[in-house]
Amino acid sequence: MPFKIPFMPEQASSMAGEVDALTLYLVAMASFFTVLVAAMVIYFAIRYRRRSPDEVGGSFDNSALLEITWTVIPVLIVLFTFVWGARVAFRLYRPPADAVQYYVTGKQWMWKTQHPTGQREINELHVPLGQPVKLLMTSEDVIHSFFVPAFRVKADVLPGRYTSLWFTPTKTGRFHLFCAEYCGAEHSRMIGWVTVMEPEEYQAWLASVPTQGSPTAAGERLFAQLACHTCHQDAAGAKGPALGGLYGRPVALADGRTVLADESYLRESILNPAAKVVAGYEAVMPSFQGQVSEEGILELINYVKSLPAGGSASVAAASEGAL
């Protein structure tokens, strides 16, 4: 927008302008109806004010034409509003294919973030200008909500599942990050900053932050440490299904259902393995609830995602063989 509209927060993402355009339409629509009704009421109230104590009103008290008019026109307007709003929302919900995934864990009362390259931050998130960013988020305790007004994005962050949101920053600077879902005593201090940097600056910043390696590498260490490989291996007769090439593929379950192996499925299978048992396997895996942190689970998932399809011993093949 060429001029600054008062009371609008800064527009710093690719979607901010679209949301603001929708807002301006809504304000214009509402103003039109408010002024129309206010003018009608004020005019009638003055024009037909009571002039003698005994006066009564007229008998014109219904009109099908008027009723149809003031039913049909609002119906058309709200349907138009709905369509516009839904179009904006679908874009807000669906990240572009080239979005880079970052990780967010909420807990009372801080935001923990992690870069795809492994750098961790607290109550801060640095991202490069112009790069579509997708956040994969979960909570360690209660429900939180990740909200950056300048980007016009918000999504609740829930315990026990992953939610996500995305944005493409279009302006460098520091932008408020708030928790928008009430989460207890220090809710209003569960705030931070998203810093948008020029890509070169961002690379320099990344290099300056010590890291223990990428989440994938960390996940690999954790995988070994928890001895996952004793069961999950590419061998006939293994107790657990092999994990190579698993991510993003449909998995046949013992109860006949098929589920997509996404982040939520992988997470559930680590914490509550009995919930969805792969066809051809026994429910022998213990739960890792309480043994792995939310960050650890994300790292494990990252590692599993990185595993290449392992040929004949892949999950799908194994389950087909068992059937």
Partner 1 sequence: MSRTGTAETNYLNAQHGLKSWLLTLDHKRIGLLYLMGVSFFFLLGGIFALLIRLELLTPQGDLVQPDTYNRLFSMHGIMMVFFFLIPAIPGVLGNFLIPIMIGTRDVAFPRLNLASWYIFMAGGSITLLGVLAGGVDTGWTFYPPYSSLYSATNVLTVGIGVFVNGFSSILTGLNFMVTIHRMRAPGMTWFRLPLFVWGHYATSFINVLGTPVIAITLLLLVLERAFHLGIFDATKGGDPVLFQHLFWFYSHPAVYIMILPSMAVISELIAAFTRKRVFGYHFVAFSSIGIAVLGFLVWGHHMFVSGQSVYAGTAFSLLTMLVAIPSAIKVFNWSFTLYQGSVSFDTPMLYALGFIGLFMIGGLTGVFLGTLGFDIHVHDTYFVVAHFHYVMVGGTIMGYLGGLHYWWPKITGRIYPEFWGRMSAMLVFVGFNLTFFPQFLLGYMGMPRRYHAYPEEWQVLNVLSTAGASVLGLGFLLPLGYLLWSLKYGKLAGKNPWGAKGLEWTTDSPPPTENFRDAPVVSEEAYDYAGAGHGDGGAPAPARAH
Interface positions, 208-237, toward partner 1 (CB under 8 A) = none
Q: 116 vs 149, which CB is nearer to partner 1? A: 149
Walk across the sheet containing 100-107 and list its strands: 120-122, 110-114, 100-107, 133-139, 163-167
- Smallest gap from Cβ 173 to partner 1, in A, equals 14
- Smallest gap from Cβ 121 to partner 1, in A, equals 20
Q: 56 vs 227, which CB is nearer to partner 1? A: 56
Q: 9 vs 173, which CB is nearer to partner 1? A: 9
Q: Which pair of tokens denotes residue 164?
A: 């996500």
Does position 8 interact with partner 1 (CB under 8 A)? The reply is yes
Q: Determine whether 83 is exposed, middle or buried from the number of CB atoms within 10 Å of its CB (0-12, 13-18, 19+).
A: exposed
State how far the Cα of 63 lies from the Cα of 67, in Å rounded to an integer.
6
Does position 60 interact with partner 1 (CB under 8 A)? The reply is yes
Pairing outcome for strands 163-167 and 110-114: unpaired
Does position 147 interact with partner 1 (CB under 8 A)? The reply is yes
Applying CB under 8 A, among 149, 173, 280, 310 the residue interacting with partner 1 is 149
- Smallest gap from Cβ 239 to partner 1, in A, equals 23
Whether the Cβ atoms of residue 184 and residue 115 lie closer than 8 Å to each other: no
Residue 217: phi and psi, rounded to 5, are -65, -40
Amino acid (1-letter code) at residue 221: R
Whether the Cβ atoms of residue 300 and residue 270 lie closer than 8 Å to each other: yes
Per-position x/- string for 153-192, each x denoting binding to partner 1 as judged by CB under 8 A, each - no binding: xxxx-xxxx-x------------x-xxxxxxxxxxxx---
Q: In this structure, how many other beta carbons lie within 10 angstroms of the beta carbon of residue 196? A: 26
Q: 13 vs 214, which CB is nearer to partner 1? A: 13
Does position 33 interact with partner 1 (CB under 8 A)? The reply is yes
Candidate ranges 46-54, 225-233, 237-245, 314-322; the one touching partner 1 (CB under 8 A): 46-54
> Which of these, 317, 222, 315, 318, lies nearest to 261 by C-alpha position?
315
Does position 48 interact with partner 1 (CB under 8 A)? The reply is yes
Q: In this structure, how many other beta carbons lie within 10 angstroms of the beta carbon of residue 273? A: 19
Applying CB under 8 A, among 14, 113, 114, 145 the residue interacting with partner 1 is 145
Q: 34 vs 203, which CB is nearer to partner 1? A: 34
Candidate ranges 48-56, 203-211, 254-262, 311-319; the one touching partner 1 (CB under 8 A): 48-56
Does position 45 interact with partner 1 (CB under 8 A)? The reply is yes
Q: 101 vs 214, which CB is nearer to partner 1? A: 101
- Smallest gap from Cβ 321 to partner 1, in A, equals 30
Q: Determine whether 124 is exposed, middle or buried from the number of CB atoms within 10 Å of its CB (0-12, 13-18, 19+).
A: middle
Q: Which pair of tokens denotes residue 262?
A: 């996404």
Walk across the sheet containing 192-197 and list its strands: 124-128, 192-197, 173-179, 144-148, 153-157
Applying CB under 8 A, among 4, 61, 208, 210 the residue interacting with partner 1 is 61
Q: Footprint of partner 1 on residues 73-132 (CB under 8 A)?
A: 74-75, 78-79, 81-82, 84-94, 108
Longest Cα separation, the chain:
99
